Amino acid sequence: MPTVTNFKDYYTILGVSKTSTPEEIKRAYRKLARKYHPDLNPGDKDAEAKFKDLNEANEVLFDPEKRQKYDQFGQHWNQPGYSEAPPPRSTNVATDFDQYDDFDSFINDLLGGMKGRSRPRTHTTATGGFDDSGYGFRSQAPAPDSEAAIALSFSEAFHGVQKRLQLDDETINVRIAPGAKPGSRIRIKGKGLKSPFSQQRGDLYLTIEVLPHPFFRFEGDDLVCDVPLRPDEAVLGAQISVPTPDGSVTVKVPKGVRAGQSLRLRGKGWTLPKGGRGDLFAKLQIVTPKDLSPMEQEYYEKIQANTSFNPRAQLEEIKL
């Protein structure tokens, strides 16, 4: 029986249980990936190793077939030739073919449980196709695709970046164009899993994760930020400086704005995949000062004593 050292408990790595749903696993991975991403922990080897373990754990537990094998065989789940328990019978190309000497042995074992059925047992043809019994399948099965997640900082996703990925014993360079958004997918041809029959490789699909930014965020397809205002700026209007992805710009705030109102900065938002820029929406937040100077205290008291404005006038008529 093969032996495995340094066994990694993927459930413990992600902080989930064996009964966790795929969505719970995905949420746990995203949270930890943001925390330990190398871009947020430059030079931290422990964070880099943790991030690598998180990706490895997510790749196994988020894939139903890999997770089933991991739960069934534990530390031996990915060892060729391990046969403590028979693998589940399946026509899926991800079945462990290393235990079979040739394709005919696999077919015979796969269909061995069909004895007693009224339909005849199948056989493969020289050209591979389906036979008349309906149980055969092509010896030239399509190469299986694979999926993985890749985390980018806001800057990398906005400007575009080239990343080096480690796929088992192979290192590949992946160019990500400017304007990548959370959930977008990149197809890398010929870098997926190998077909057990033809040894051809499928494609690798990378799902983009964009790490949180302290100021900018996505709301649907829009780029949004919160901009604080003083009470006097909200009442009288003002010229203020607002950060954008490529530098600050001066924006005119009209007088009498409300908290939560948005200013639209055209062409200052996210990079669009086909070129150009989207819009940035600056949500205004009115912030009151906590510490007032004696003069400020005096003037606020004068305003309060002399104003006729009552923002709650419409509330007087409200009843159950």
Q: Are residues 221 and 301 in the same domain?
A: yes
Q: What is the pLDDT of residue 128?
A: 40
269 and 241 housed in the same domain: yes
Neighbours of 211 (CB within 10 A): 19
Residues 221 and 299 in one domain: yes
> Domain boundary at 210, 242, 261, which?
210
My answer on whether 66 and 82 are in the same domain is yes
Task: Give the pLDDT confidence score for residue 316 in this predicted structure.
Answer: 87
Distant-in-sequence contacts of 291-299, Cβ < 8 A, 24+ apart: none
Percent of the chain with pLDDT over 90: 38
Task: Tell me whether residue 134 is in a domain.
Answer: no
Given this model, what pLDDT does residue 202 score?
A: 86
Q: Within this chain, do residues 154 and 80 fall inside the same structural domain, yes or no? A: no
Band of the pLDDT at 76, cuts 50, 70, 90? low
Identity of the amino acid at 10: Y
Confidence band for 192, pLDDT divided at 50, 70 and 90: confident
Better-scored residue on pLDDT, 275 or 76: 275
Q: Do 195 and 225 belong to one domain?
A: no
Domain count, the chain: 3
Residue-wise pLDDT tens digits, 229-265: 999 999 999 999 999 998 999 999 999 999 999 999 9
The pLDDT value given to residue 288 = 94
Q: Which residue has the higher pLDDT, 224 or 63?
A: 224
Answer whether residue 316 is part of any domain.
no
Mean pLDDT value across residues 256-277: 91
CA 244, 249, 250, 252 dihedral sign is negative
Do residues 171 and 231 both lie within one domain? Answer: no
Q: Is 217's pLDDT higher than 50?
A: yes
User: Is residue 261 in some structural domain?
Assistant: yes
275 lies in which domain range?
Answer: 217-305
Q: What tens digit of pLDDT does each residue of 136-169 get? A: 444 455 667 888 889 999 999 999 999 988 887 7
Q: Which residues pair with 251 in a beta bridge?
A: 240
83 in a domain, yes or no?
A: yes
* pLDDT confidence of residue 254: 96
Q: How far apart (Å, rounded) are the C-alpha atoms in residues 4 and 78?
A: 10
Residue where a domain stops, chosen among 210, 232, 265: 210
Is residue 3 situated within a structural domain?
A: no
Lowest mean pLDDT among 90-104, 116-130, 219-233, 283-297: 116-130
- For 30-65, the pLDDT digits (tens) are 888 878 887 778 788 888 888 888 888 888 888 888
225 within domain boundaries: yes
User: For residues 226 and 240, what is the distance between their CA atoms, to the nearest angstrom?
Assistant: 13
Tokens of 248: 């600050």
Best CA proximity match to 209, nearest among 274, 153, 271: 153
The CATH number of the domain holding residue 84 is 1.10.287.110
Strand order in the sheet with 146-152: 146-152, 204-210, 185-188
Written as six digits, the tokens of 100 are 């079979």
How high does pLDDT run on average in the chain? 79
Q: Which long-range contacts (CB under 8 A, 24 or more apart) does 246-254 make?
A: 251/282, 253/229, 253/284
- Check residues 199 and 287 and name the one with the higher pLDDT: 287
**Measured CA angle at 317 (ends 316, 320), to 5 deg:** 110
98 belongs to a structural domain? no
Last residue of a domain, one of 50, 73, 92: 92
pLDDT digits (tens, 9 = 90+) for 116-134: 343 333 333 333 444 443 4
Is 175 among the domain residues?
A: yes
Do 170 and 227 share a structural domain?
Answer: no
Check whether residue 254 and residue 295 sit in a common domain: yes
* 75 and 14 in a common domain: yes
The CATH number given to whatever domain includes residue 298 is: 2.60.260.20
Do 232 and 294 fall within a single domain?
yes
Q: Indicate if the pLDDT at residue 96 is higher than 70.
A: no
- Whether 225 and 182 map to the same domain: the answer is no
